[in-house]
Chain A
Amino acid sequence: MTVIKICILALAGVLFIVIVKGHTPAYGTVLQMCIIIVVFVGTIPDVKQLLQAMEVIQLTEYFSNSGLKVMLKVFSVLAVGSVCSDICRDNGEGAIAGAVELSAKLAAIACALPVFTAVISLATAFLKG
């Protein structure tokens, strides 16, 4: 049901933005951002449910849910960056969109840095025998 609510909200928002943009384009962008935030807030219960399910997942001794948490963090950072860069691109700001994407990727790599460091130390340990 949440999806239907979000879809109705999004469609109504788009219609409203089209009308507003005809008169004052600046307000159109503000409205667009507001609707995106509302849509994200609407998905919070589902995300919470997903996270709770992942807490339960303890696949084996090889893989703890900390790995899943890192992947979720990276995914969240990349998703937020992607949405933000799309907004920038819609408003004709390609350069800002590119910068946002780049910073999102850097932030994602920073989130995954403990995993990367662990892989490098693992490879070094194997090399040392």
Chain B
Amino acid sequence: MRKFKLIFTYFVSVALLFFLPVSCSAFDSNIDDYDQEYDFGSFISTLSDDTLAILDEIGIDELSLDDIFSVDPSKVFDALLGMVVKAVKEPVRFMSVVMGIVIIVTLMGSFLDSPKTLNMVGGATLSLCTAVPVAGVVTSSFSVLETLNAFTTAFSGVFCAVVSSSGRINMGVSYATLTVFSDTLFSAVLSGVSQPVVNLTCSLGFLSCFDMGGFTEKISQIVRKLYVFVLSFIGTVFSGIVTLKGVLSDGEDTLGARSIRFVVGRSLPVVGGTVSETYSTLVSSLSLIKNTVGVFGIITVAVTVLPTLLQLLGWIFALEACATVSDILGAEGSVNMLRVLKDTFILLVATITIVATVFIVSVGVVITVKGGGV
């Protein structure tokens, strides 16, 4: 029941996004002059082929103002629809295969007095079937994290260019520098740490088809707890830094903002609290981004993160549904494996969300430096 509530809350939060007030600001053309000091076009080289393909699909071929403002909404809608269909298609196929195998194993097991050995073989077969799609999802998630990390690191370079162009050399030791470089560090740490953790929990998940008295599940739980601790620690430090001086937010806390913060805090796994805490900073960052680089950065983050997040959500739903069916039918080996993999995907969602949040706040800070907000 709790899971259904969470899913419901998540969809309500997504629906609420459409009712967010949109801040409009005049386009700051001066900031685009910085491309004389820094090669902004080098951002594009950090993007993955998939991201470039989606950008191309919606009509953004290069980092130019004309391309960004001539985007056709119908193309964006088509691209979004394509992402959703692509994200749902594979998990649904996977669900049918898993349920087929689980039903066959249960049917065969019902003829035997002790179906434990057969369940183990069924679980092992299921592990082999799951490996191919899981490897694909994990690889695409890592590639998203690497892209975001490369992009955040590239933005540190932009920050240096902005600071030197604004003639404020004393900014080098200021709060904004601390924020941008801690953001860069956090995304680098998260990208580096998440890979071995996810690989380890995945391999433990595959091994949990063997009946080892819950050994693999316990080990994967410990690894997950340690990772959640690292994620929470980074989240706490990050939200501490961005709220320390409220550099981007004006401290406004309306009813709408409160509801969104509540929904985000409740629905996002692991990092819900952090994203909720930094919500006002995030919104302020988005309203400040009014130049080509900023808008391109945000569009790129959305295009990079959204397909993988949708794919992960589809897989989480599929794995949970399969685990529930296996649980009802009594296929224990499969239940453990499916639940461990689902928890791993939740960790990936949390990591990608926090890295994306870190990036958006970084962009906001870069823009504030020029705006004299610090």
B122 close to A71 (CB less than 8 A)? yes
Query: Chain A contacts of B135 at CB under 8 A?
Result: 126
In the complex the two chains form, is B125's CB within 8 Å of A71's CB? Answer: yes
B206 part of interface (Cβ distance < 8 Å): yes
Q: How many Å lie between the Cα of A119 and that of B127 in the bound state? A: 7
Docked-complex contact B117 and A78, CB < 8 angstroms: yes
Q: What's the Cα separation between A79 and B131 when bound, in Å?
A: 29
Given contacts A62-B94, A126-B203, contact A112 B128 (CB under 8 A): no
Q: What chain B residues lie within 8 Å of A129 (beta carbons)?
A: 195-196, 199
Interface residues of chain A: helix, strand, loop or mixed (majority): helix
B133 proximal to A (CB < 8 A): yes
Name B104's contact: one of A68, A78, A79, A126 (CB within 8 Å).
A68
Check if A78 sits within 8 Å of B112, measured CB to CB: yes
Interface string of A71-84 (1 = CB under 8 A from B): 11011001100100
Q: Could you say which residues of chain A place their CB within 8 Å of the CB of B369?
A: none
Instruction: Determine if A60 and B124 form an interchain contact, defined as CB atoms under 8 angstroms apart.
Output: no
Indicate whether B113 reaches chain A with its CB closer than 8 angstroms. Answer: yes
Contact at A120–B121, with CB atoms within 8 Å?
Answer: no
What 0/1 readout, one digit per residue, does chain A (86-129) give for beta carbons within 8 Å of chain B?
00000000000000000001001100100110111011101101
Q: Kindly state whether residue A11 has any CB partner on chain B within 8 Å.
A: no
B108 within 8 A of partner (CB): yes
What is the bound-complex CA distance between A124 and B206, given in angstroms? 10
Nearest-CB residue, chain A, relative to B135: A126
- Dominant secondary structure of chain B at its interface with chain A: helix
Chain B 114-170 residues near chain A, CB threshold 8 A: 117-118, 120-122, 124-125, 127-133, 135
CB of B199 within 8 A of CB of A127, answer yes
The answer, yes or no, to whether B100 is at the interface (CB within 8 Å) is yes
Count how many chain A residues have C-beta atoms less than 8 Å from C-beta atoms of the other chain. Answer: 30
Q: Does B241 contact A (CB under 8 A)?
A: no
Instruction: Name the residue of chain B whose CB is nearest to the CB of A124.
Output: B203
B293 CB within 8 Å of chain A: no
Measured between alpha carbons, how far is A108 from B94 in the docked complex, in Å? 27
Tell me how far the C-beta of B193 lies from the nearest C-beta in chain A, rounded to whole angstroms: 13
B257 at the A/B interface (Cβ < 8 Å)?
no
- Shortest Cβ distance from residue A72 to the other chain B in the assembled complex, whole angstroms: 8
Are A123's CB and B207's CB within 8 A?
yes
Q: List 26 A-B contacts (CB under 8 A).
A: A59-B96, A60-B97, A62-B130, A63-B97, A63-B101, A63-B129, A67-B128, A67-B129, A68-B104, A71-B125, A74-B118, A74-B121, A79-B112, A108-B121, A109-B117, A112-B124, A115-B121, A115-B124, A115-B125, A118-B124, A119-B124, A119-B128, A123-B203, A126-B199, A129-B196, A129-B199
Instruction: List 14 other contacts, CB 8 Å, given A70-B125, A82-B113, A119-B124.
Output: A59-B96, A61-B132, A71-B105, A71-B121, A74-B121, A75-B111, A75-B112, A105-B117, A108-B121, A115-B128, A122-B128, A122-B131, A126-B200, A127-B200
A-binding residues in B (CB < 8 A): 93-94, 96-97, 100-101, 104-105, 108, 111-113, 117-118, 120-122, 124-125, 127-133, 135, 195-196, 199-200, 202-204, 206-207, 209-210
Which residues of A are in contact with B by a Cβ distance under 8 Å?
A: 59-63, 67-68, 70-72, 74-75, 78-79, 82, 105, 108-109, 112, 115-116, 118-120, 122-124, 126-127, 129
